[in-house]
Amino acid sequence: MTIFWRLLLSHLLSDFTLQFDIVNKLKRKYMWGMLIHCLTHFVVSVSLTWPYLGDTWVSVGGTGINGWWALAIMFTIHYIVDELRVYSMKGWYKDNTISFLLDQVIHIYVLFMISPVSVPAPGTLLGEKWIAIACMLVLVTHATTVIIYFLEKDLFGKAYPHFDEKYLLIFERVVLWAFFFVAGYWWVPFAIAWAVQLFYMHRKRIIDMSTLNVALNIFFTLGVGFFTRYIYYGVL
């Protein structure tokens, strides 16, 4: 599972952390904008899987496909899927939570299909610890921001959060997530206190966000936090 988790991290970084607003706008307008986005994914994937690129990852019809060719396939499919999504949004449907999640499922499925197939030994299903934790960090930061945005847009027609709101909530989630690294159960009261202060910020209108937004921030952070704790310690 080593290569799959490295590819997953490259996808999360490229589709969320490194997909800046300007890149997102350009890829929806121009083919070269889409190329920039997909090439970013390709370059990050090469960087993270460099030691394994010469190895055979999968075999099709008895023909071995090494890492370079596998990433070329990934790049091609990524470009086609994202272009089809952009094209479809111009006339078939509006971009929403379902289309976003379907897009992510397709991309992750492709990563799984081009990764070496092996029966993992006990304790290796999650791959390398630092790679898995890095995936969790991207999920709790930029990925959660996008997921909550789509949910609120579908329900309330809310626009994408402005810079201050986006990064303040990312900071809040990262601090809450960090408590899960504390040994024993001392993290519990700290996590509860931090969640309470987030609701206090909402009640005092320190930042303009809905009750659903606060609840989703805490819910997603707790989910990622528990999984991170399992990755880090092997137990909850």
Number of H helices, E strands in the chain: 10, 2
Encode pLDDT of 116-169 as tens digits. Answer: 876 555 555 677 899 999 999 999 999 999 999 999 999 999 888 888 889 999
Better-predicted residue by pLDDT, 199 or 72 = 72
63-66 and 56-60 strand pairing? antiparallel
Average pLDDT over residues 66-89: 94
**Residue 163: its pLDDT value, please?**
86
3-state helix, strand, coil in the chain (%, to 5): 75, 5, 20
Give the domain ranges of the chain: 1-122, 128-236
pLDDT of residue 62: 85
Q: Give the residue, 94 or 112, on which the prediction is more confident.
A: 112
Residue 33 confidence (pLDDT)? 93
pLDDT category, 231, cuts 50, 70, 90? very high
pLDDT at residue number 200: 85
Chain-wide mean pLDDT for the chain?
91
Beta bridge partners of residue 63, listed in sequence order = 60
What pLDDT is attached to residue 236? 74
Element of type H or E holding 5: helix 2-12
Rg (CA), the chain: 19
List all residues 6 or more positions away from 1 whose beta carbon is below 8 Å from its beta carbon.
115, 118, 120, 124, 125, 126, 127
Average pLDDT over residues 44-64: 94
Confidence grade of residue 95 (pLDDT, cut at 50, 70, 90): confident
* pTM, to two decimals: 0.92
- Kindly report, residue by residue over 179-211, the tens digit of the pLDDT: 999 988 888 999 999 989 888 888 877 777 888
pLDDT digits 0-9 by tens, 10-23: 999 999 999 988 98
What integer pLDDT is reported at residue 121 of this predicted model?
Answer: 56
How high is the pLDDT of residue 234?
86
**Cα separation, 218 vs 106, whole angstroms:** 27
Residue with token string 């949004």: 89
Tell me: pLDDT of 91 over 80.
no
Q: What pLDDT sits at residue 122?
A: 54
Terminal-residue alpha carbon distance, the chain: 22
Which residue in this structure is represented by tokens 């897009």? 103
The encoded tokens of residue 38 equal: 């997909």
What 8-state DSSP symbol labels residue 65?
E
